[in-house]
Amino acid sequence: MFIVGSYTLAVIFCFITMLCWGSWGNTQKLAAKSWRYELFYWDYVIGMVLFSLLLAFTAGSIGTEGRPFIQDLGQASWASIGWVLLGAVVFNVSNILLSASVSIAGMAVAFPLGVGIALVMGVLNNLLLHPVAGQNTALLWIGVALVVLAVICNGVASGKVSNEQRDPKQNRKGIILAVLAGLIMSFFSALVYNGVDLNNFAAPAAGMLTPYTAMVIFALGVFLSNFVVNTIVMKKPFVGEPVTYKQYFAGNIKTHLVGVLGGCIWCLGTALNYICAGKAGAAVSYALGQGAPMVAAIWGVFIWKEFKGAKKGVYGLLALMFCLFVAGLACVVVAGM
């Protein structure tokens, strides 16, 4: 299988992860305006499964190092599979809660709060469960703090241009959902890594998984849990009227393909994050990937023109956001050297 051989390449893959995690949401904007998130999410999950299998049978099955996908899957212990499936369920629940929060309280509240909590707690979880010798922990935390400040600046800037009037009770509900989403999301990567041999991708321990096999099991876990989690949300949505599977199958092929593309983009980013964790360390790879809200902000500012006509003060916050973001990422990269 393909294995990352240097820290520099691992960091490059982490940045690609960040780009993918911050960009897949564009596919939801491209989907039909009447296409609810609960329906889009099914295509998104299907895209994850398809792309994970593509990676497993290509990059995960070539070369002389590591175990090919089928061989690795055949020797996997139920404990390793169970950890990855648990991580998948945790991710699915948190991602749907975060999406519900966005629909209720808006991006300005949900992403800074939810992803900010996930970033800090996720790095802590990975440091405790999967520490790396020689890593500059103090510098890593400085980098994380700078990225969190950047996310806060993004949230304040978004709030200053928002013209939506929200019911205080609904807004409070959105805040609670964002906090829950962030706390739950912070555990998913550490849980998945419990089933992956991060110390030796070239010759993984018996029963442990390679990143490619873990990605397939993870995607299947999200897909299977979606029959419970997303079905409940479809019938009892946090906001809006219930949606049905009849509505899903009535969607046109273009709309479905856009959702599948979104899942493929997210899956590519996550797979690269797993692949580079062995060289960069679980905490560093997770921290860099969770800079995704800033990538989303770049799309919003320069492509979707979401801040068009905003006051000068808003653009000052955005400039500060990008500076803090770059400085934070630099600290995280140096911390792992």
DSSP states along 98-110 = HHHHHHHH-HHHH
Residue 60 lies in a domain: yes
| CA 5 vs CA 8, 63, 192, 279: distances in Å | 9, 13, 22, 7
Report if residue 27 sits inside a domain.
yes
106 falls in which pLDDT band (50, 70, 90)? Answer: low
Is 19 part of any domain?
A: yes
What CA–CA distance (Å, rounded) separates 301 from 305? 5
310: pLDDT confidence band, cut at 50, 70 and 90?
low
Report yes or no on 160 lying in a domain.
Answer: yes
Q: Is residue 49 part of a domain?
A: yes
Does any domain span residue 200? yes
Helices first, then strands: H and E counts in the chain: 15, 0
Predicted pLDDT of residue 165: 47
- Helix/strand/coil (H/E/C) assignment for every residue in 196-222: ECCCCCCCCCCCCECHHHHHHHHHHHH
CB 173 within 8 A of CB 104: yes
For 142-188, what is each residue's pLDDT tens digit? 988 888 888 788 777 766 665 544 566 776 787 788 889 989 989 99
**pTM of the prediction?**
0.86
What is the domain extent for residue 127? 7-335
CB 208 within 8 A of CB 143: no
Q: Can you spell out the DSSP letters for 75-95? A: H--HHHHHHHHHHHHHHHHHH
Q: Comparing 127 with 227, which gets the higher pLDDT? A: 227
In a domain, 1, yes or no: no
- pLDDT: which is higher, 228 or 198: 228
pLDDT tens by residue, 6-51: 989 998 998 899 889 878 878 877 887 778 889 999 999 999 999 9
d(CA 325, CA 192): 27
d(CA 204, CA 104): 44
Domain count, the chain: 1
Asked whether residue 2 is assigned to any structural domain, the reply reads no
